């Protein structure tokens, strides 16, 4: 199925929200949503890494793993397509290694370039490696925008758009949750439900609200 850019943005922010509908990135959603400013920092860090990780994994998948006409062996050495090894099964290992080293690299890079930004995002970056939203968006891009290992039309642009808007959707619900939880500190919650249980129930109610978006027709 072909998606327009606007459709993709609406779908990944609202209809298939990464946290509330796809259940990706729940650990930071529950862990870092106690204050608004730390939620904003985490959201920005996730969006940033998500975008870079999506681009890098797209490049790796198209040029190295999938046996296509873009494969590096075909382009440089002119190996016939049927002789290029199909390495798509290495997807999981390659992606997680790339993401782990990318996070390290981004951390060092930001520290060097902008100490202010590093102070804002620094503590969240190491947490991001095991954030399933990052690997999730990388795998999802392959599932959605590749057909039998071949990149479909506009798959690069679609990947970029989906990564940025998935990050935006993540930041949005993280901020909403942080706003609610700041107020919740003052509320009289039954004792056994304080902390994590009530956070889950709030997330459930938010998810019901987001379910309303699925009636939207974006065709």
Partner 1 sequence: MTLVAEFIKGIYKENPVFRLALGLCPVLAVSTSISNAIGMGAATTFVLLSSNTIISLLILFFSKILSEEGQKSINKIRIPMFIVVIASFVTIVEMVMSAYFPALSESLGIFIPLIVVNCIILGRAEGFASKNSLVFSVMDALGMGIGFTLALIAIAAFRELLGSGQLLGVNLFGGDYKPVLLMILPPGAFLVIGLYLGILHWLDARKK
Question: Which ranges in 32-114 belong to alpha helices (H)?
Answer: 36-60, 72, 91-113
Q: Which is nearer to partner 1, 157 or 205 (CB)?
A: 205
- Write down the least CB distance from residue 90 to partner 1, Å: 7
**Cα-to-chain-centroid distance, residue 29:** 13
Q: Which is nearer to partner 1, 10 or 120 (CB)?
A: 10
Q: Do 39 and 33 touch, CB atoms closer than 8 A?
A: yes
- Write down the least CB distance from residue 166 to partner 1, Å: 13
Q: Which is nearer to partner 1, 133 or 160 (CB)?
A: 133
Name 138's Cβ contacts closer than 8 Å, sequence gap at least 6. 53, 54, 57, 95, 99
Instruction: Read off φ and ψ for residue 189, nearest 5 degrees.
Output: -85, 140
Instruction: Read off φ and ψ for residue 150, nearest 5 degrees.
Output: -100, 135
- Write down the least CB distance from residue 81 to partner 1, Å: 23
Q: Give residues in contact with partner 1 (CB under 8 A).
A: 20-27, 30, 89-93, 95-97, 100-101, 130-132, 135-136, 139-140, 143, 190-194, 196-201, 203-205, 207-208, 211
Q: Which is nearer to partner 1, 75 or 205 (CB)?
A: 205
């Amino acid at each position: 199925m072909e998606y327009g850019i606007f459709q993709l943005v609406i779908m990944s922010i609202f209809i298939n929200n990464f946290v509330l509908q796809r259940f990706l990135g729940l650990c930071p959603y529950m862990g870092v949503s106690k204050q608004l400013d730390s939620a904003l920092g985490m959201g920005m860090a996730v969006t940033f890494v998500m975008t870079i990780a999506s681009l890098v994994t797209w490049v790796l998948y198209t040029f190295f793993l999938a046996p296509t006409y873009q494969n590096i062996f075909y382009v440089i050495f002119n190996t016939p397509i049927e002789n290029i090894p199909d390495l798509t099964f290495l997807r999981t290992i390659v992606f997680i290694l790339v993401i782990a080293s990318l996070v390290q690299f981004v951390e060092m890079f930001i520290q060097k370039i902008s100490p202010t930004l590093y102070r804002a995002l620094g503590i969240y970056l190491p947490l991001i490696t095991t954030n399933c939203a990052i690997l999730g968006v990388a795998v999802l891009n392959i599932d959605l925008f590749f057909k039998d290992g071949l990149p479909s039309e506009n798959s690069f642009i679609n990947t970029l758009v989906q990564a940025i808007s998935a990050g935006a959707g993540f930041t949005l619900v993280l901020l909403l949750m942080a706003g609610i939880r700041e107020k919740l500190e003052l509320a009289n919650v039954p004792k056994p439900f304080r902390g994590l249980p009530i956070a889950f129930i709030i997330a459930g109610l938010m998810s019901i609200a987001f379910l309303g978006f699925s009636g939207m027709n974006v065709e």
